[in-house]
Amino acid sequence: MYERYSRQMLFAPIGKNGQEKLRAKHVLMIGAGALGSSNGEILTRAGVGKLTIVDRDYVEASNLQRQQLYTEEDVLQKLPKAVAAERRLRAINSDVELCAVVGDATPEMLDELVKGVDLILDATDNFETRMALNDIAHKYQIPWIYGACVGSFGMSFTIIPGKTPCLNCLLKSLPVQGMTCDTVGIIAPTVQMVVAHQTAEALKILVEDWEALRHSFVSFDLWRNQYSSMKMSRAKDESCLSCGSERTYPYLSRENLMKSEVLCGRDTVQIRPSKEGEVDLNELAAHLSSIHYEVKGNPYLLSIEMEANRIVIFKDGRALIHGTKDLAQARSIYQRLLG
Amino acid sequence: MNKILFFAHLKDEVGEENIRIDVAGRTVAEVKELLAAEYNLQKLDSAMTAINEEFASNENVIEAGDEVAFIPPVSGG
């Protein structure tokens, strides 16, 4: 039964003992896009006991360049990514217990899903979900591994509740309007490099080799040939509301969440961002036009034509997503454009 | 004198991977403000800062000879 893992067990820091530990562990992976595809495949091949995959999107043609679990057939069938990922991973290793969850990783859902989980892998595409995930991880004392990438630039950091600084210590607040893969693109090697850092750390945690963990914040740019490793011992903030002594887990509360609602009688969802802030419409319009989105606008709003939807973004960050009644899909479209 | 390094889109916006400028005695927040104005950088305030490859907060003071790096957090995945 262990034949398929023989080369991994030959690796001294894992061994048979480590392999058995790995087999007893449950990993929760949030997101099944590029990071999720690659993280999921490595952990499934490695023989993790159970992998739960959460994703709210379905497979599209523009995913195939880097999201390695998916095929043209998945695009034709518009399969939810969580479902397509589960099918592919089951074919790769039937030994692993796989659980696919199609839906938005809201704080309520995360609270349900983390029970009995040994590690959370971040494969999301937005900071709002990451901050909620960070709060949940600290509430239940579960390690999690931040990973993110855009263009040729990627980064990763391992967060161990009670030991390391947390994401909220580093960012202090939700960054407004980040760059996303849908606005500045992404090349597959960036994804693989982030995943290499995430999965190496994941294996260390799952086989309980705590001493081997990397304590630095890694970032790199594969096109511009930059690599940085930032020491984090000074980053822990004792007054942090997510991991400090008077923590309130701010990103689990309703007022800090993006609000979305279906507008009555219309095929439209309204999104209101969690953080009030002016969006620079001129900059956004210039950028989206330059990458071939059809953008129209006036000083108050922008209207963006997409394949099946029309998106109207107002100066205060509010948006109307026309052509859908699906809240998760609308939130996904919004975060793909505005981060 | 200090060496300032820029990562990801900041490097493109500045047009250089690094610059040399004397900012000794100033806080990280002050240097961010100065550079944002000088190079018209939109999102420098949300970038993480490292002084001599160690995480630094906005209140940290930069000393002579320190190397300062600005790393913008990204959200794609």
pLDDT one-digit tens code per residue, A180-208 = 777 788 999 999 999 999 999 999 999 99
Average the pLDDT over A99-112 and give the result: 93
DSSP state of A151: B
Which pLDDT score, from 0 to 100, does residue A13 have? 98
Q: Do B75 and A226 touch (CB under 8 A)?
A: no
Superfamily of domain A3-252: NAD(P)-binding Rossmann-like Domain (3.40.50.720)
ipTM of the complex: 0.94
What integer pLDDT is reported at residue A177 of this predicted model?
A: 58
Helix (H) and strand (E) counts for chain A? Answer: 12, 14
Task: Give the residue extent of every domain in chain A.
Answer: 3-252, 258-338
Q: Which of B42, B55, B76 sits opposite A230 (nearest CB)?
A: B55
Roughly what angle, to the nearest 10 degrees, separates helices A34-46 and A188-206? 40
Quote the CA–CA distance of B73 and B65 in Å, as a whole number: 25
Please say if the pLDDT value at position A250 is more than 80: yes
Calculate what percentage of chain A has a pLDDT beyond 70.
Answer: 98
In Å, how far are A20, A21, A211 from A17, measured between CA atoms? 5, 6, 16
Give me the DSSP letters along A178-238: ---HHHH-B-HHHHHHHHHHHHHHHHHHHTT-GGG---SEEEEETTTTEEEEEB-TTT--T
CA–CA distance, A229 with A194 (Å, rounded to integer): 13
Alpha-carbon span B25 to B46, nearest angstrom = 21
A219 touches chain B (CB under 8 A): yes
Please tell me which residue of chain B has the smallest CA distance to A191. Answer: B77
B72: chain A residues, CB-CB within 8 Å: 179
> What is the pLDDT of chain B when averaged over all its residues?
94
Is the per-residue pLDDT at A1 higher than 70? no
pLDDT of residue A276: 66
CA distance B54 to chain A (A): 4
B77–A149: do the CB atoms touch at under 8 Å? yes
The residue among A144, A105, A119, A143 whose CA lies nearest residue A251 is A105
Q: Collect all residues of chain A within an 8 Å Cβ-Cβ radius of residue B8.
A: 150-151, 153, 179, 221
- Domain ranges for chain B: 2-71
Mean pLDDT of chain A, nearest integer: 92
A227 CA: distance to closest CA in chain B (Å): 9
| pLDDT score for B4 | 97
pLDDT digits (tens, 9 = 90+) for B24-59: 999 999 999 999 999 998 789 889 999 999 999 999
Q: Pick from B9, B55, B76: which is nearest to A231 by CB?
A: B55
Three-state DSSP state, A255? helix
Say what the pLDDT of residue A299 is: 80
The answer to whether the Cα torsion of A208, A237, B71, A291 is positive or negative is positive
Q: Report the C-alpha gap between A271 and A314 in whole angstroms.
A: 10
CB contact under 8 A, B77 and A31: yes
Judge whether A217 is closer than 8 Å to chain B, CB to CB: yes
User: In this complex, do A217 and B17 lie within 8 Å of one another by their Cβ atoms?
Assistant: no
CB contacts under 8 A, A 123-162 vs B, are 123-127, 130, 147-151, 153-155
Q: Chain B: residue nearest A66 by CA?
A: B77
For A166, the token pair is: 């947390």
Class of domain A258-338 as given by CATH: alpha beta
Q: pLDDT tens digits for A289-331?
A: 888 888 988 887 898 988 888 998 988 888 989 999 888 889 8
- Closest in B7, B56, B76 to A180, CB measured: B76
CATH superfamily, region B2-71: Beta-grasp domain (3.10.20.30)
pLDDT category of residue A165 using cuts at 50, 70 and 90: very high
